[in-house]
Amino acid sequence: MSDLHALPRVLISAAHKSSGKTTLSLGLCAALRAQGTVVQPFKKGPDYIDPMWLGRAAGRPCYNLDPHLMSADEIRALVLSRCVAGGGDLALIEGNKGLFDGLALDGSNSNAALAHQLAAPVVLVIDARGMTRGIAPLLLGYQAFDPALALRGVILNRVGGSRHESKLRAVIEHYTDMQVLGAVPEDPRLAMTERHLGLVPGNEAEEADAVIARIAHGVAASVDLAALLALARKAVDVAPNAPAWSWSGLIQAAETAPATKLRRDLRIGVAMDRAFGFYYPDDAEALQALGAELVPFDTVNDTNLPPRLDGLFIGGGFPETSAHALAANAGLRSQIRQAIEAGLPTYAECGGLMYLARGLSVDGQRHPMVGVIPGEVEMHARPVGRGYVALEASADHPWGVPQGTAVRAHEFHYSSLHLAGPGPTLEHPVRFAWRMRRGHGIDGQQDGLVIHNLLASYSHLRRVGGCDWPLHFIAKVQQVRDERARAELLGPSLFSHSASFASLVSLEGALS
């Protein structure tokens, strides 16, 4: 499969958010997987949580498609390359919000625009509660708003019963040419637990697999899966006059870039547990392509860091829900603080930043954290920073990113960091890697706290749109490891903190 036109694909969208499209999408992934279909899931937008559920349901990583951060070529190449690499039978793309919603007035970053870019047929999920004949003008209006869009099918959700379903089907069949692919009844057993950021992450829900199995059973009993697959296979007919897409060059670049691997393997510790789990799979793949071995560790249950680490990556998550357990693991907190203070290159995003502060206050109760960041984190009832951000690299960026470099990213945090004295020593003053051109970051003006070899931000970066953060981070890790190795050979007195750092990064590991 070297051409996107040969790839069965479908985009699942809705009239508005909270219509149940994520529940139905993960149910479709799991139900089709149970029938032997290899489903490669994708999620529109920067969200971490829905992709964790979709990936768990499909049994393979879910990748984000973000028109705000990615070019159309990057989006097409990612879809095709991940389906080719994993032998996917179907690309199932879940939209976000409503079909025509998005930042741009012209809809250029909407779900509909993404469907156009991928020439993907669209299935609309409709929350049918309280609707009968009124569903017809809704669907006809969506078709008329963008006549070129391949709006092919509808799944009725939260249907009140067989009589309600019959009325809805009769109306749709009489007034529209859209195919009704299924009708899912109102069923509390299909509900999923929610929290302020949306759905509970799949790596945190204790009974995630049971939830997915229950939803898959309900979807399989209510949706015509064969008809859905047939619709997806007709994607080649969506735009018959469009030029054939063949992205072999882009795929090769995606699989090999950055083209220059580091000379030696590096060991990067990655926090992966019920407190931290927000990582983009393609970013992880980029780190591995650069020669890094990603070594998971558990901030709640592990008493020691993994041995011979060259760097740390602590991503986002929900440290506030595990604050008591994180605080109780004092031994690991102390090791992390000592390692960072000794110069271990570390990248922390959002939840990771919160964990590295002195304390985290949740509902008025303070929990001690790692303590390497001279400040306190406080949780709030409403978001402090939410949405896409525009960053500009400062002269203090620790990874060698040229000053003035513009980067797009996103933030979503309910916490604020209050920097306070006594601060770091004069040898390690507080500096910031990013200036905020849009968004909040740490203080509304800056983000990316730089202390020792730590970069800690509220902003979430992704390796798309020219933002090759894995390359810059790994280059920093390699630089520090080389400096440590030379210092160890010449004597510990020639390099600050080398004695304590050597307890975490052995000379054998530095020279291997």
Q: Which residues are catalytic?
A: 350
Residue 256 burial by Cβ neighbours in a 10 Å radius (0-12, 13-18, 19+): exposed
How far apart, in Å, are the Cα atoms of 485 and each of 2, 98, 481, 488, 492?
Answer: 45, 54, 6, 5, 10
Whole-number Å distance between alpha carbons of 421 and 394: 23
The DSSP result for 135-184, as a single string, is HHHHHHHHHHHSTTS-EEEEEEEEE--HHHHHHHHHHHHHH---EEEEEE
Q: Which amino acid is at 367?
A: H
Whole-number Å distance between alpha carbons of 40 and 85: 10
β-strands 431-438, 385-393: how paired?
antiparallel
The DSSP result for 232-276, as a single string, is HHGGGGSSTTSPPP--HHHHHHHHH-S-S--SS-EEEEEE-SSSE
The DSSP result for 292-316, as a single string, is EEEEEE-TTT-SSPPSS-SEEEE-E
Place of tokens 């790596």: 203
- Per-residue HEC secondary structure of 377-443 comes to EEECCCCCEEEEEEEEECCCCCCCCCCCCEEEEEEEECEEEEECCCCCCCCCCCEEEEEEEECCCCC
Q: Cis peptide before 240, with omega less than 30 degrees from 0?
A: no
